[in-house]
Homo-oligomer: A and B are copies of this chain.
Amino acid sequence: MLGRIIENGSTVLLYSLKGKSWLIKVDSKNEFHTHFGAVKFSEIVGKRYGDIVKTNSGQELILLEPLLVDYLMKSERRTQIVYPKDIGLIILETGIGPGSIVVEAGTGSGVLTTAVANFVRPSGKVYSYEIRPEFIEIAKRNLKRVGLEDYVIIKNKDASHGFDEKEVDVVLIDVGAPWTLVKPAFDALKGGGALAAILPTINQAEKLAVELKKNGFVNVNTVELLCRPIEAREGMSRPSTRMIAHTAYLMFARKSFLKVNTSYNENSCDGSEKV
């Protein structure tokens, strides 16, 4: 038997060859309307992931099992979200993995929170701080939809007053004034623990780098990831005409007990000496 069977209540990514997709929950009594026509959920139940369903206007849609990234990109959001390219590097550079204890300042819509929760499973935990109650509700809904709510504790607290957690593996910072969180981050982290910050402007990066180095952080490393879409087409390949040119700068650092830090920050990507 090939592919898992879709049941009533399953979540499905309806994917059109025209590049549109919809993340839906199968409710066999209803139907789903797209501008390519309507699909009866009763026709989906019993099919395998990977199978095709036709709309009432004859358009083919493919039934895909949603991946984490589909949930992230289809999140309910009122803030700028963190994009997959940036999430991926944050996970790698901070060492987040099964069992990690992670503290986050700035839950926002919970997109990064959700991604991190996925990777700390089954034994880790994410403690996420957010001062705006309305975002907490959004983040909780996003976490619940993907089924990761058990791995996250969201706190309606101002992280600049300090994190409750100590000896944590990783601190993530996604707030407008990240430099106010350097001392709280230091106090929360274990020795050698990793910090990552998401910084839309260079001014934020500059102020944070200064503050990190004043407070014992080493290996302060700032990068920017550009994701360039490529049209790989037979005999006529080329980069796409347009791209998202900037999401955020990413800054990484490690906690040390160093008293005076005279290092430059390091600005290293793959390929050069990398701690």
Contact = CB atoms under 8 A, between A and B. Distances in A.
Interface of A: 1-4, 13, 15, 17-21, 48-52, 60, 62-70, 73, 83-95, 97-98, 115, 118-119, 121-122, 167, 190-194, 200-203, 205-206, 208-210, 218-219, 221-247, 249, 251, 254-258, 261-275
A77 to B, nearest CB: 12
A119 to B, nearest CB: 6
Nearest first, the 6 A-B pairs at minimum CB distance are A3-B191, A88-B88, A50-B191, A83-B270, A67-B95, A229-B267
B92 A84 contact: yes
Nearest to A241: B246
Given A48-B191, A65-B192, A73-B274, A218 B93 contact: no
Please state the number of chain copies in the assembly: 4
Nearest to A246: B239
Given A88-B85, A191-B49, A271-B83, A233 B209 contact: yes
Contacts of A15: 218-219, 254, 275
A222 B50 CA distance: 20
A19 B274 CA distance: 8
A203 B236 contact: yes
A4 to B, nearest CB: 7
Contact of A17 (B205, B227, B262): B262
A236 B193 CA distance: 28
A116 B84 CA distance: 17
Contacts of A49: 190-192
Contacts of A93: 67, 69, 84
Given A3-B191, A229-B268, A257-B52, A237 B202 contact: yes
